[in-house]
Every structure is written in structure tokens, then in C-alpha cells.
């Protein structure tokens, strides 16, 4: 193939792209130029386009992985692998060069299309966060219009990474938070990346929290110098996503201040800290105390025990087991046993200053606002 012919082929690719022909038209142009069959697939071997004469297999995966007949080129957009372009029924030589040139042009087009679609989807999440929808039906209609199949509920995760490339952070997030019930939502808020994970079932939320907790190690394996911090919000229905996002951002801020960078904090597990951080009102304080002490009250009622009374006396008497045992008229070993029970039932350790703060505050609020 002469240099002039190569220039003409490349100019034709540019004209097709400029006119909006897209990957399918570029695939057809390659097929016409080499006189064979051409297949375009995405990075997961899903069909995008096919053109030309001769037999074209359902996928070029065997060509790449097992040496089946055909010639294949990786389609890339920058450092990202976005697909495969393959030709069949033609000899090597000029076809290899034209294949690589076309793959490069298609990579640019696929990146542009992905960016456009991603932008439209992020516009939806921005509108949802701004509470722009009158009802859930309007939100679902708008989501469907941009190619999102909305889940029944979501869990928001807020992430910040020191000195990390935003594209790489998004790539890690896409790998870590996979859901069978829908695609992830993403929105940028300042330096924080908000991720909306479908969580229609309790197991979905549990899996998302586990995946979030592993992110610092996942990032560290790729870039040891990068530290990632995060906050996990609450599970909310579609229109409640702003509440989950606010909780995730609060958890991120609290976690960084209390535990330092490189920690993923869950809003539901931060105990008293959100109340102090957000300046909670009386009703919320009372609800917090009731929720924190409810497991002890249920246990006491069912088993006719005195765990709640033991906890309150233990705090009131300066955490002195001997004095508490005397006040309760039991052996001090009984108090130790009850304290272990309290930790197990409330899922909070009395050895932890953070958990102890939560229980102390719950007891104080209860005595101040709920006791008669």
C-alpha cells in the first residue's frame, strides 16, 4: 500500500468521524477497504457492529485467546481498553495497518460516546441531589431517558483520595461496587466522589459496606502512595438519595477528624458523633437514645434481667465495678458478666472510647429527656 493510499484512508476515517458516522461507519469503511468481514466488540466481547463480506464469527474471542482464524486489534481510549476490532477472510500485510488505524479512530469515538452518555447520566444524579423532581415517577422517567434503570433504593458512598487521578478512582470504584440490580450512579461534589450503589436488599447494602471498607487496601495495591478516605451513608429510596449522600459526606468528614485519613466510616456505626457534628435537635436526640438502649430493654424484658440498670449505675458510679456490685447487691463477677453481655447485645465495646461515648450519651439523653 502506497503512502498516498494510507493518507487517503486516514483522511476518510477523519471525515467519517467528523460527520458523526461513529464506530459503525468506521467499521464499515474498514470492511470495504480490506474486502473482508469486520467485527467490533466491546472490552467484554459484546457485539457493537459488523460489516463486510465473508463469514464473521459471533465473537473474535477465539482469535485473540486461542489463535483462531482472523486478525484482531485492541481498541483503546487513552490507557483504557474499550474493545476489540477484528478482520476475517483477508491476508496479512496492509490489512494489519488499516486495522490498527481504524481501531485508533474507533477508540476516540467510543471514548467520546462514553463521555457523552456518562455526562447525561451524571446530570440526572446532580438533579436528584438537588431535589429537582416532584415525585419518584418523574425521577424514574428522567433516569430511563438517559439510559439508567433506577433501583428501588440506594446506598451513597463519599470518597476522597489524596493525590489520586480521578479517572483511576472511578475505575477502582466501578470494579469494587458491582451490583446485579442496576448500575452505579456517580456525581462529583468538590473533591469528593459520590457513588450511589443499588441496595434493594439488605445483602446489597452489606456487600457495599464491605466493598467500601476494602477500598483503602485496593487503592494502596495499585498506588501505595495514595490514601483514600470515605463515608458510607444510609439506605434510602430513590428520592431519598440526597439524605444518603448527606449522611455519607458527614461520615467522611467525621471519620477523617476522629480516625484520620485512610479510613472508611459508616454513618450508622458512628454512634454519637453525627449528633454532635450536625447539632441534632431534641427529638432526634431522644430517638438516638431510644435506639441505642432498645436492645438492652428488649433483652431485659424477655429475660427479666437488669442490664440497662447495671449500665446506668456503672457509669454513674465512675465505672467502679465493686461499688456497682454493692449497689446492685450482686457479686462483682456478676457485674463483669453483665458488662460483657451489654457489649455483645449493643454491638459496642465498653473498652472503646468511641463506643463508650455513644452509650454514655444515650444514657444521659434518656435520663434528661425520657425518664419520668
- Beta carbons within 8 Å of 174's beta carbon, 6+ residues apart: 184
Contact yes or no for 296/306 (Cβ under 8 A) = no
Biggest distance spanned by C-alpha atoms of the chain: 101
Beta strands in the chain (DSSP E): 37-42, 47-52, 71-77, 80-88, 153-161, 185-189, 192-198, 228-237, 264-266
Q: What is the mean pLDDT of the segment spanning 283-300?
A: 93
Residue 260: exposure state from Cβ atoms within 10 A (0-12, 13-18, ≥19): exposed
Query: Distance between terminal CA atoms of the chain?
Result: 94
DSSP 347: T
Q: Quote the CA–CA distance of 248 and 265 in Å, as a whole number.
A: 8
pLDDT value of position 72:
92
The answer to whether 241 and 275 have CB atoms below 8 angstroms apart is no
DSSP 8-class letter at 240: G
pLDDT over 70, % of the chain:
95
- 12-40 pLDDT per residue, tens: 999 888 887 889 999 999 999 988 999 99
**Average pLDDT value for the chain:** 88
Q: Which fold has domain 3-117?
A: Beta-Lactamase (3.30.450)
Is the pTM of the predicted complex or chain greater than 0.85? no
- Res. 159: pLDDT tops 90: yes
- Supply the pLDDT for residue 164: 59
> Would you say 251 and 232 are in contact if contact means Cβ atoms under 8 Å apart?
yes
- Residue 91: Cβ-neighbour burial (10 angstroms; 0-12, 13-18, 19+): exposed
Local confidence band at 167 (pLDDT 50, 70, 90 cut-offs):
low
Average pLDDT value for residue range 70-77: 90
- How far apart are alpha carbons 26 and 36 in whole angstroms? 14
Rounded CA separation 325/340 (Å): 15
Tell me how many degrees the CA angle 309-314-317 measures, rounded to the nearest 5: 120
What's the mean pLDDT in 320-334?
Answer: 94
Residues 185, 187: Cα–Cα separation, whole Å: 7
Fold assignment, 279-370: Arc Repressor Mutant, subunit A (1.10.10)
pLDDT (average), residues 307-317: 94
Question: What percent of the chain has pLDDT above 90?
Answer: 55
CATH of span 152-270: 3.30.70.270
Q: How far apart are CA 322 and CA 320, in angstroms?
A: 6
Q: Where do the domains of the chain lie?
A: 3-117, 152-270, 279-370
- Rounded average pLDDT over 133-161: 91
Report the C-alpha gap between 91 and 82 in whole angstroms. Answer: 26
Q: Does the pLDDT value for residue 333 go beyond 70?
A: yes
Question: Got the DSSP string for 154-173?
Answer: EEEEEEEETT--HHHHHHHH
Cβ neighbour number for residue 118 with a 10 Å cutoff: 13
Residues 6 or more apart whose Cβ sits within 8 Å of residue 87:
30, 31, 34, 36, 37, 38, 39, 52, 70, 71, 95, 99
Lowest mean pLDDT among 13-22, 260-269, 333-342: 13-22
Strands 47-52 and 37-42: antiparallel
Q: What is the pLDDT of residue 372?
A: 47
Q: What is the pLDDT of residue 114?
A: 66
3-state DSSP call for residue 76? strand
pLDDT band at 170 (very low <50, low <70, confident <90, very high): confident
- The position carrying cell 431534641 is 282
C-beta neighbour count of 171 within 10 angstroms: 14
Distance CA 346, CA 292 (A): 7
Residues in the chain: 372
Task: Please report which confidence band the pLDDT of residue 266 belongs to, taking 50, 70 and 90 as the band edges.
Answer: very high
pLDDT at 297: 95
Amino acid at each position: 500500500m502506497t503512502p498516498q493510499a494510507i493518507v487517503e484512508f486516514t483522511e476518510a476515517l477523519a471525515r467519517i468521524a467528523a460527520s458523526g458516522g461513529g464506530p459503525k461507519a468506521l467499521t464499515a469503511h474498514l470492511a470495504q477497504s480490506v474486502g473482508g468481514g469486520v467485527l467490533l466488540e466491546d472490552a467484554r466481547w459484546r457485539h457493537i457492529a459488523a460489516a463486510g463480506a465473508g463469514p464473521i464469527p459471533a465473537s473474535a474471542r477465539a482469535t485473540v485467546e486461542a489463535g483462531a482464524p482472523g486478525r484482531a486489534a485492541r481498541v483503546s481510549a487513552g490507557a483504557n481498553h474499550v474493545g476489540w476490532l477484528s478482520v476475517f477472510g483477508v491476508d496479512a500485510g496492509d490489512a494489519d495497518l488499516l486495522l490498527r488505524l481504524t481501531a485508533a479512530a474507533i477508540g476516540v469515538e467510543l471514548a467520546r460516546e462514553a463521555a457523552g452518555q456518562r455526562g447525561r447520566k451524571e446530570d440526572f444524579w446532580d438533579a436528584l441531589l438537588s431535589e429537582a423532581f416532584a415525585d419518584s415517577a418523574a425521577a424514574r422517567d428522567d433516569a430511563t431517558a438517559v439510559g439508567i434503570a433506577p433501583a428501588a433504593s440506594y446506598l451513597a458512598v463519599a470518597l476522597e483520595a489524596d493525590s489520586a487521578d480521578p479517572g483511576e478512582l472511578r475505575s477502582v470504584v466501578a470494579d469494587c461496587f458491582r451490583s446485579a440490580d442496576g448500575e452505579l450512579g456517580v456525581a462529583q461534589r468538590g473533591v469528593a466522589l459520590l457513588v450511589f450503589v443499588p441496595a434493594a436488599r439488605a445483602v446489597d447494602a452489606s456487600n457495599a459496606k464491605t466493598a467500601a471498607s476494602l477500598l483503602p487496601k485496593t487503592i494502596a495495591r495499585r498506588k501505595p502512595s495514595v490514601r483514600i478516605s470515605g463515608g458510607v451513608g444510609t439506605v434510602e429510596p430513590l428520592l431519598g438519595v440526597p439524605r444518603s449522600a448527606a449522611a455519607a459526606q458527614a461520615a467522611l468528614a467525621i471519620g477523617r477528624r476522629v480516625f484520620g485519613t485512610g479510613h472508611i466510616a459508616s454513618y450508622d456505626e458512628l454512634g454519637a458523633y453525627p449528633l454532635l457534628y450536625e447539632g441534632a435537635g431534641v427529638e432526634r436526640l431522644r430517638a438516638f437514645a431510644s435506639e441505642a438502649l432498645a436492645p438492652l430493654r428488649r433483652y431485659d424484658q424477655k429475660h427479666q434481667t437488669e442490664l440497662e440498670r447495671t449500665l446506668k449505675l456503672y457509669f454513674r458510679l465512675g465505672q467502679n465495678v465493686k461499688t456497682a456490685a454493692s449497689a446492685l447487691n450482686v457479686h462483682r463477677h456478676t457485674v463483669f458478666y453483665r458488662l460483657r453481655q451489654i457489649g455483645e447485645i449493643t454491638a459496642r465495646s465498653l473498652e472503646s472510647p468511641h463506643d463508650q461515648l455513644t452509650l454514655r450519651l444515650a444514657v444521659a439523653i434518656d435520663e434528661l429527656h425520657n425518664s419520668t
